[in-house]
Chain A
Amino acid sequence: MKRYSAFAIAREAARHHTGWDRAWRDAQPKKKYDVIIVGAGGHGLATAFYLGKNFGITNVAILEKGWLGGGNTGRNTTIIRSNYLQDPSAAIYEKSRSLYETMSQDLNYNVMFSPRGVIMLAQTQHEVRGYLRTAHANALQGVKTEFIGPARVKELVPIINIDGPRYPVLGGLYQARGGTARHDAVAWGYARACSDMGMDVIQRCEVTGVRTEGGKVTGVDTSRGPIDCDKLGGVVAGHSGHLCDMAGFRLPIESVALQALVSEPIKPCMDVVVMANTVHGYMSQSDKGEMVIGGGTDGYNNYTQRGSFHHIEETVRALVETFPMVSRLKMLRQWGGIVDVTGDRSPILSKTPVEGMFINCGWGTGGFKAIPGSGWAMAELMAKGHSPLTDEFSMHRFREGKFIDESVAAGVAH
């Protein structure tokens, strides 16, 4: 792999850009791999990358039914933060956030990580108490956050209306090292690094069956023929239930649509990410100048990657009240993704009833921020059989009542 650098750009500029390589090989499936990862989104590619980097396992295939990063990796609002309440969540999300800090250098690929700060607005007394509790929990967990008053919110976000009328801003939970990154670049950077280690990233290869023998996984059937493997990792977000159905067990997951939209590009007006969870809306400004907007999920099971129009109206209505200037913006694009939501709104990184098969799913509405940490932990789980980061996230925690309850605690618009 040729390294990307300022020198490389100058060299290629001098020869009409004829020397650039493909970022990753267009691999054909082999008969057998040590490890197969199903799903070439951010989480799947990160899992493969850390299997190679941390454990030297490089006979790996990453299978993708569509195109690389075409699912939720390319459909989210790119927010990165780690201000969760529960200890296991804070551990894996903070690991993830810290890996984002050096990801561009680690992958030699500019993922445009921008630690511009994330504010979660407190707009009711209940939220004030909740976020104070989270700020205290974060202090104990070693996650740097602080609770700030309305005047500081206004100073950081001049376009905000802090006076209400329905929901005045009473303060906010501020994580200064939270921010955003370029979502496609995260997938592309990992894919390039995986390919460079000799792994096969195979696109347009849909898994149609999971083959087992005596309760142990032996391979998968795909649209491009059967492929054998010793270990199988299912990292397919909204389609996890479908994959596990092929393997013969069930998951405590429901798949619903979550939508996002962007406005026309405007001049820089907001250099932090603002989440308003009481009114269900969050917004940041991309480097192109578009206001990137997200809201809550639809209420019913859905696999169509499109959601209900009235949810967009609710989200925009909430944001117009909080940021009056957005009422004049035209919206350019709107899209939906299928998110996999668990009963306690926390992910599942777990062994399964099928020996040798592992799953990483249930990230629900907040998976992008977790990509590197999730991959790091999942790789350790698959290589060693356990990981301190995933111990609490077993799929069996529901029957044991050991929830990692972030459904209200995370304060996220689910």
Chain B
Amino acid sequence: MLILTCPCCGVTGEETEFHAGGEAHLKRFGPGSSEDQFEEYLFMRENPKGVHFERWRHVNGCGKWFHAARNTMTLEVYGTYSAQTHTPPQDLRDRISEKVPGWSWREFQ
């Protein structure tokens, strides 16, 4: 059972209070984009064994979307942060680096 803290309302709850929303920081592409870009955006996923950044929604709570950093091999939650950002915050990335030296996820590390 994952335990997550919603950064929007500050409530800490079990995963039944939240709903997983898939990979975070996807680059969206609209009309005029190439087929490669559409395929990347719509279907290709990182799906890493290890550090993963993903979207969650506090469905049985404040209803807001947020981001979480989590490990898919250990189920450890490193932290949650605002959805209004294109990159994971530096202090969170530093915390992950202490536990998983040399990790990388897409262009972040």
Residues of A within 8 A of B (CB): 239, 241-242, 250-255, 299-304, 308-310, 343, 398-400
Contacts and interface: CB of A to CB of B under 8 A. Distances in A.
A191 B24 CA distance: 41
Contact of B42 (A254, A308, A398): A398
A399 B35 contact: yes
Given A302-B72, A309-B1, A399-B36, A252 B16 contact: no
A251 B52 contact: no
B51 to A, nearest CB: 11
B19 A303 contact: no
Contacts of A255: 47, 72
Q: Chain A: interface secondary structure?
A: mixed
B45 A303 contact: no
Q: Which 6 residue pairs spanning A and B have beta carbons closest together?
A: A252-B43, A299-B20, A300-B20, A399-B39, A241-B47, A398-B43
B1 A251 contact: no
14 contacts: A252-B43, A252-B44, A252-B45, A253-B47, A254-B45, A254-B47, A255-B72, A301-B23, A301-B47, A301-B72, A303-B72, A399-B39, A399-B43, A400-B35
B75 interface: yes
Contacts of A398: 39, 42-43
A300 B57 CA distance: 12
Nearest to A241: B47
Contacts of B42: 343, 398
A308 B35 contact: no
Which of A253, A300, A304: most chain B CB closer than 10 A?
Answer: A300
Interface in B25-46: 35-36, 38-39, 42-45
B84 interface: no
Contact of B1 (A253, A308, A343): A308
Interface string B48-85: 11001010000000000000001011110000000000
B94 interface: no
A306 to B, nearest CB: 8
Contacts of B52: 301
A250 B36 CA distance: 12
A301 B73 contact: no
Contacts of B20: 299-300
Contacts of A310: 1, 15-16
Nearest to B40: A250
A399 B47 CA distance: 19
Nearest to B15: A308
Contacts of A303: 49, 72-73
A300 B47 CA distance: 10
Contact of A301 (B1, B36, B38, B54): B54
Given A252-B44, A252-B45, A398-B39, A304 B74 contact: yes
Given A301-B48, A304-B75, 7 more contacts: A253-B45, A300-B2, A301-B23, A308-B2, A343-B42, A343-B43, A399-B39
B19 to A, nearest CB: 7
A398 B43 CA distance: 7
Contacts of A300: 2, 20, 54, 70
Contacts of A343: 42-43
A241 B43 CA distance: 13
A59 to B, nearest CB: 31
A303 B52 CA distance: 11
Contacts of B35: 399-400
